[in-house]
Structure 1
């Protein structure tokens, strides 16, 4: 039978003293962590109903855009604008020689004057013959001939005036004016160049009315209604909202998505300080619209911190603050969406950076 060595009284006392010391230190640590947790403001995680949105890429394009072409022939004598210049509606873009057009106006004016004289003479002759006919001085055929001559003279006068109006209109084409207020995107001609009718001169677009063009997957068509509000985002910040949208009635053969065109006023001319004035044709933007409601968790930005490239919050537990990884979703103002990592009724620190700093200081102090 083996001998069992008993503890000596001195060893037993040392063992009890060490055990009590360990328990006291553990209790002090727990109390320290509990008091530390009370030092920082906590917030209660509460899931609530939030609008779920769909965000898609879109391209800004101008509603009014096109190319101005020559409506007469001649040589360009003056170019008033170049590419990227801002042009007011009605401003003269360029001038074309008007020698032939001015000569046509003079000829038409002379023709009008001659026609007016012939018309006056024919009317006077008709009035004389009308006075002589009751007296039997002229025959019925002579009176009818006078009436026909007066009608023909009036027709020639009307034709001469129409030719004059046409000549004046052709002369006005020697000064090409901007059809709308906008920006020049391309100049197709050079000064001194001879142009013919139909020659492209300038291309441009208007900044007053713009639209965003996006492609909607067919699975989301059911969420689009005439009352749907679309938010246009630039650099993830809301710029403008609009309900004026047109959904194409056919799908793209390549992407099988449906084109969505969202119209809006750009406010470029009236309020340059507005964010919407930053929108320009050709820019990439994002559009966002609601597709339902779901329970979501949102926290202030201050409750989330970066830890080794991971997003995390400080969760309040019985053992103190515990760094807990979370996955983030959308951001709206000072709030950030928590997709996973937390449950309803959890308590987290409102200022994650303050808790992290306090824990670092505590770790440094305990290691010294």
Structure 2
């Protein structure tokens, strides 16, 4: 049995290098001579879309929820009200702070006026040193009381504003943690979401590609709908994963009016590598049967079927890289399908 497997392995190995003669070239066909050319060969990576800006909005005051304006998957404009909380307690605190400020301002006005009068009379000897010191202290204390009252008023206004929870940025809601009618407390999570315009793709590269990625100025992101986004904010990590020994790369980009690209989706990232000499042939010269790729090569006065191993396929230029099976200077049939049709017709006539 082992000899049989060895014989089969040897036969398969020979199949990759032996060219099978077909028929003599009875018709004239367009040919092309294979030669090395310098072409930029892009590397394609699978990348996952992530949000560069995401947040969980929490309650900054307590109360009962009276209105919820958005739900999961909704797009929310910046500053829009997500939900409303009862504000009677906060409104009462604001009224008390305003009254306290008015009171302290009245006391301060009286203390400042008295201080000015005493200051004018003290040099004349009409006011004692003790009375002058007391008026000075009252003027300073009342002024500080006004500052404290203003601070309390600002705090009360903020607490009242906190009863309307607003979106910190434009984006999409991913989670809602509360229901209408619930009583919430300070610090409780309410909504989670992300900015759907400022995104990034994250992918892994082998360590041998790190130097190339660090020199790139642009990377293309191929979306599922065929659209290509060019991004220049490329951030390859300078440390490798201890398990896979690969490097993480983040590419930030902006996608305005985003309706068809979402966080968590997979996309293709195309990174152009440095140009290197390669053998490229037209796609029309390729003859494929299942997983077998071949070309028709001119060998003296014969046309032979030559198996090849393929690399990068450039759909834009309609050509494919040949890794093995051909050498520079080989002449091949330009249109394999046309040659195959004529060869079968010739055989049928025989």
Q: TM-score range with shorter-chain normalisation?
A: 0.7 to 0.9
Deviation at 1:155, TM superposition (A): 0.9
Helix, strand or coil: the match of 1:112?
Answer: helix
Tell whether 2:184 aligns with 1:195: yes
Q: TM-score, normalised by structure 2?
A: 0.84
Q: Distance in 1 between matches of 2:25 and 2:245?
A: 58
Question: How many pairs does the alignment contain?
Answer: 327
- Give 2:220's aligned residue: 231
Tell whether 2:302 aligns with 1:313: no
Q: Distance in 1 between matches of 2:329 and 2:56?
A: 62
Question: Alignment partner for residue 330 of structure 1, among 312, 315, 329?
Answer: 312
Q: Distance in 1 between matches of 2:111 and 2:132?
A: 12
Provide Cα deviations, 1:79-102, integer angstroms capped at 9, x if missing partner: 111111111211111111111111
Question: Alignment partner for residue 256 of structure 1, among 222, 245, 248?
Answer: 245
Structure number with greater Rg is 1
Helix, strand or coil: the match of 1:210?
Answer: strand
CA RMSD of aligned residues (A): 2.6
Q: Are the structure 2 counterparts of residues 305 and 80 from structure 1 closer, same or farther at C-alpha, using a change threshold of 3 Å? A: farther
Q: Distance in 2 between matches of 1:308 and 1:52?
A: 25
Q: Distance in 1 between matches of 2:155 and 2:227?
A: 52
Please list every run of 5 or more consecutive structure 1 residues that lacks an aligned counterpart in the other structure.
1-29
Q: Are the structure 2 counterparts of residues 312 and 278 from structure 1 closer, same or farther at C-alpha, using a change threshold of 3 Å? A: farther
Does structure 1 retain, via aligned residues, the 8 Å contact 2:43–2:270?
yes
Tell whether 2:340 aligns with 1:352: no
Q: Distance in 1 between matches of 2:159 and 2:71?
A: 25
Deviation at 1:63, TM superposition (A): 0.8
Please list every run of 5 or more consecutive structure 2 residues that lacks an aligned counterpart in the other structure.
1-21
- Give 2:284's aligned residue: 302
Question: Alignment partner for residue 60 of structure 1, among 29, 41, 49?
Answer: 49
Question: Alignment partner for residue 98 of structure 2, among 109, 120, 125?
Answer: 109
Q: Distance in 1 between matches of 2:241 and 2:119?
A: 76
- Give 1:143's aligned residue: 132
Q: Are the structure 2 counterparts of residues 256 and 34 from structure 1 closer, same or farther at C-alpha, using a change threshold of 3 Å? A: closer
Does structure 1 retain, via aligned residues, the 8 Å contact 2:64–2:182?
yes
Does structure 2 retain, via aligned residues, the 8 Å contact 1:226–1:243?
no
Q: Are the structure 2 counterparts of residues 343 and 121 from structure 1 closer, same or farther at C-alpha, using a change threshold of 3 Å? A: same
Following superposition of structure 1 onto structure 2, how do residues 36-51 of structure 1 map, counting pairs within 5 Å? 36=27, 38=28, 40-51=29-40
Q: Distance in 1 between matches of 2:215 and 2:345?
A: 58
Helix, strand or coil: the match of 2:214?
Answer: coil
Provide Cα deviations, 1:138-177, integer angstroms capped at 9, x if missing partner: 3121122112112111111111111000111111111111
Q: TM-score, normalised by structure 1?
A: 0.80
Deviation at 1:289, TM superposition (A): 3.2
Tell whether 2:326 aligns with 1:342: yes
Deviation at 1:49, TM superposition (A): 2.2
Helix, strand or coil: the match of 2:45?
Answer: strand
Does structure 2 retain, via aligned residues, the 8 Å contact 1:228–1:289?
no
Does structure 2 retain, via aligned residues, the 8 Å contact 1:58–1:213?
yes
Helix, strand or coil: the match of 1:225?
Answer: helix
